Amino acid sequence: PGHSSCCSGDRRGTGQGEGRALTGWVQRSAQSTRAAAASQNSRPAEDKATSPAPGDCPVCSYNEWDPLEEVIVGRAENACVPPFSVEVKANTYEKYWGFYQKFGGQSFPKDHVKKAIAEIEEMCNILKGEGVIVKRPDPIDWSVKYKTPDFESTGMYAAMPRDILLVVGNEIIEAPMAWRARFFEYRAYRRLIKDYFNSGAKWTTAPKPTMADELYDQNYPIHSVEDRHKLAAQGKFVTTEFEPCFDAADFIRAGRDIFVQRSQVTNYMGIEWMRRHLAPDYRVHIISFKDPNPMHIDATFNIIGPGLVLSNPDRPCHQIELFKKAGWTVIQPPVPLIPDDHPLWMSSKWLSMNVLMLDEKRVMVDANETSIQKMFEKLGISTIKVNIRHANSLGGGFHCWTCDIRRRGTLQSYFD
């Protein structure tokens, strides 16, 4: 008990080369194709031969806290400032608008990026020291301009795997994204995803949006934070319901229940696509917050254990009673300690609560955030302290910078 295997079945056969696994399923696939051709009344529904034994699947994660075995950590290399379009404006703070207007399409400040790269290397080494397998996306030149029939843009980065990949059980879902600068971000992860697919994982890409002008409210009136509060309260966001869009980081997992917010980058159509896709095994619940600028749920509402959630005191959850009724413990983390003069081009200070659980009793937390460290220690959770201040400036904490590929555990319900 407690060691039930990855997506049913033991992960044996670690000595087998991937090549052998690959040729195995290619052969089975070819055999089943030949068999189907040979017999007109073949029974494809019962032909399970093409999927590798579930025990071999390296991808398996149902929640945010089971013991972490394998993780993708993002890259700051070549990070570029996105062009200052309407959807970027709606997600950034006024004090940085001049920065975007000046540097859109160019590199983030080089010395800052260099420091971020070093911090993330150190984070990877610490994860490895804790027994976690670490994978990285490919370095790509994000300054290259691209053009579709609907828009043109330059890219951004592959720093935040949490934004683009959602693992549910043995399935990796590639999010469609909502920023034009992130349209081709998936390319940095394809080598890894193909490897996982060849080892038996399910691989889904959500419908790719056109990101045509109709997806954005071109006249989204942003002059002040008050404007945004009013608009968010009215359910108005910069993205329309023209086509589905979502970032994976607006979803957070607790076994059979997955919680999501309508945000500047995730629309109701995107949520509905995900709800139908994951039904009936998973229930997708929309929750909302008093938040003038929702984008990504994990610095607002971060589930850190079975029935244990960090809830941002600045952005209270409107549905919090549901969690309390279900017997959950709701914890308000302390105010972040990050100084005002530290640049945060793409996020609020609340990255302090954007933590990564290595298991229920170990958390990766910012070395500078002593008050939240004390909070965890009071809860009996030991802290693994890492400094990623320069990496924070690119818009993410430990949860954003990672995507857990495998956690040792089984599918359970925590929200009945």
Active-site residues, by number, are 247, 296, 400
Q: Residue length, the chain?
A: 416
C-alpha span between 262 and 237 (Å, rounded) = 9
The residue assigned the tokens 């975007």 is 100
C-alpha span between 181 and 179 (Å, rounded) = 5
Q: How is residue 207 annotated by DSSP?
A: P
CA angle 195, 198, 203 (to 5 degrees): 85
The residue assigned the tokens 């008093």 is 290
And the tokens for 170?
Answer: 């043995």
For residue 307, CA distances in Å to 233, 302, 330, 356 come to 28, 11, 8, 16
CB-CB contact of 324 with 316 (8 Å): no
CA angle 110, 112, 114 (to 5 degrees): 70
The residue assigned the tokens 């997506």 is 7
Give how far the C-alpha of residue 91 lies from the chain's centroid of Cα atoms, to the nearest Å.
17
CB-CB contact of 63 with 405 (8 Å): no
If one counts every other C-beta atom within 10 angstroms of the C-beta of residue 365, the result is: 25
Contacts of 376 (CB under 8 A, 6+ apart): 363, 365, 382, 383
And the tokens for 34?
Answer: 């030949």
